[in-house]
Structure 1
């Protein structure tokens, strides 16, 4: 079951001074979220992830998915510091969950708790290198990590499934060829087992290859199958640009096999690969978040199935400026 839309009122950067509602409609395939820094791309992903987690009965409060200060206070503030409690709603077209933020966090849902949308959030920060003893320490001490960073270690640490769906075998092979091996967990530490038999601790592998290795492990653990959702914050970060086409192809393969995908990116090249590598049966939709009036702080959006149809497209503008400078030289 795919997520169809989200509505946000007066929450974090989505504080609308004219009391209007921020709304974004999604496609069933790959949703690419672009925009400048500070327009709420990661925040949007975390709200969607929270809603999907709640569909599985994991009712962690929204602040669980955001960093908190050392004294434990929440970052969930209204951008205009008004007294009106912020809220957001997510729907799949038939069911809806609405979460309201107040002094006491409450949520109401209509059949949402039985949806069971299996979801995985890959944060921009690489986490598997910190796995040794991390979960035990996180339970005992206050650590500066949010729920998405903890969850990815938990998901990667799950046991592998007995059988791999035939549709996923090709994807696993592509990733294995790129990293030169497979990923395993031994004594609370992740390793890359190279094809020549060498075992390399995850922290010693190149970070770009670690991202691919994490994706391999998630698929091998059976977490990305038909009907599930993948949320990935800045997949291009620390990734060799030569690997952009491979990651784009992997995401398109996952979409073809029934995985709904949400990615936030600053890379025009990576986003464009998703557009030009798709076929007529693969859905890729671009969602642009931007501030129309800098003084108001209001966030707006527009969506299209082609990068060129989005305006203002800041990541495209940045690339055009670079090309202009090269031409002038």
Structure 2
């Protein structure tokens, strides 16, 4: 798991910001252009870099610096390090400190500290502290873009030209390469899969390098014909079944509510709490008031008392060019007013007033 992250001078964070995550559910709340996706991508990059480094017995520092530099540029789809600095020009500096823990990685043994400089693309990234132990668990990123439909093309193009694809989507396709029957899953994980398959109405299957939705009594449905909101749910169910999302894994999910109607969100929240109970660290972003309220409702229930939770509020004050303001706490109320959420509340008040007057 990723325990904490300190950033300074990275994209929307010109100042120093410190994020402490919990093993359970971490929710990043904010409006458009508040940096939610940037935070998830940065956390994903360092965690995935650590997990991939665990495959090497004696990693060389210079080689790991090059790998981390390439990973940052791939995941952010950036042409250079300059675009990842807060000032995005000249010799701007950025600093990142990350702490990771897990099985075989005790506290303090998975620390990574690095800097990068905008004006020196090849040698601009320097690792100040290398982890003594690397993560040895899958790290998965579910971005807003679904990949089941385009999986065959991703595999063909990505194997030949991986630099042309964003890193998160390419990594996800590699996880999807594993057959669903490759590993048995736990009873608790099976319950999570059952909830997801109840929403989408069937099971995601792979045949001849393509994905289909298999519903009872029907012919397999091509993924291009499946509702957009169901594709990412189907992706997650398949990743659980093939062992890519399991105890100890880290799951990053950018706006899980996207293209889903509100009737499905309570079951989606049960899925998130179920994953946390199985030992998956969940880090998600959202600006859906319905989803956030449903999270608060279900997390307050006794059955979820053991699920650790953390909310991060990210906002850009109007007329303030000093960067993103970050607040945090164990509930939605702790992060203070978020403009996008306040707009939904204000509209609800106006609608109720209209209904009352009519």
- 1:229-249: CA deviations, max 9, x gaps? 100001111112111111100
How far apart are the structure 1 equivalents of 2:20 and 2:264? 29
CA change 1:32–1:192 in 2 (3 A) is same
Query: Who is 1:49 aligned against?
Result: 44
1:273 lines up with 2:294 in the alignment: yes
Query: Who is 1:238 aligned against?
Result: 259
Contact persistence 2:183–2:242 (CA under 8 A): no
Query: Who is 1:285 aligned against?
Result: 310
Q: Which has the higher helix share?
A: 2
How far apart are the structure 1 equivalents of 2:249 and 2:215? 29
Normalising by structure 2, we get a TM-score of 0.84
Normalising by structure 1, we get a TM-score of 0.91
Query: Who is 1:25 aligned against?
Result: 20
Contact persistence 1:41–1:289 (CA under 8 A): yes
Contact persistence 1:63–1:75 (CA under 8 A): no
Query: Who is 2:326 aligned against?
Result: 301
Query: Who is 1:91 aligned against?
Result: 99
Gaps of 5+ in 2: 54-66, 101-106
How far apart are the structure 1 equivalents of 2:309 and 2:135? 24
Q: How far did 1:327 drift?
A: 2.6
Aligned pairs for 1:97-176 (under 5 A) are: 97-102=112-117, 103=120, 104=123, 105-111=125-131, 114-141=134-161, 145-160=165-180, 161-176=182-197
1:65 lines up with 2:75 in the alignment: yes
CA change 1:112–1:82 in 2 (3 A) is farther
Within the candidate set 28, 35, 38, 2:33 is matched to: 38
How far apart are the structure 2 equivalents of 1:258 and 1:162? 17
What root-mean-square deviation, in Å, do the aligned CA atoms of Structure 1 and Structure 2 show? 2.1
Gaps of 5+ in 1: none
Q: How far did 1:190 drift?
A: 0.7
How far apart are the structure 2 equivalents of 1:78 and 1:217? 37
Q: What secondary structure is seen at the aligned counterpart in 1 of 2:320? A: coil
Query: Who is 1:15 aligned against?
Result: 14
Contact persistence 1:133–1:188 (CA under 8 A): no
Q: How far did 1:85 drift?
A: 1.7
Higher mean Cα deviation, 256-265 or 2-11?
2-11
